[in-house]
Amino acid sequence: MTDVLEMPAVHDCSATSCAYNDDGCHAFAISMNADAACATFLSLNDKGGLDVVAQVGACQRADCVNNEALECRAPFVSVGSAASGADCLSYVKA
């Protein structure tokens, strides 16, 4: 049986134009792409998500010190606004 790992929480997100950001990220889980950008970012006028604090699941940024087997192992992450979405501010090059 595979052990379930605790995913790191999204500590804060300043990408207020994201539909999941309603005074914090309320997606169930987010993914980061190979550019360390939030692949879950969704620009809509409506706000959505769940009554949860989002967690970080998959991370394609293999050169990050917090990436282990394409999963984020940081204690928590911060996400910030970017020109075309949101970026992982916790990314640290290995």
User: Where along the chain do its domains lie?
Assistant: 9-88
pTM score: 0.88
pLDDT value at residue 72: 95
pLDDT value at residue 81: 94
pLDDT value at residue 4: 56
pLDDT value at residue 1: 40
Secondary structure, 3-state, 35-72? CCEECCCCECCCCCCCCCCCEEEEECCCCECCEECCEE
Spell out the per-residue pLDDT of the chain, length 94, in tens.
445 568 999 999 999 999 999 999 999 999 999 999 999 999 999 999 999 999 998 999 999 999 999 999 999 999 999 988 999 999 999 9
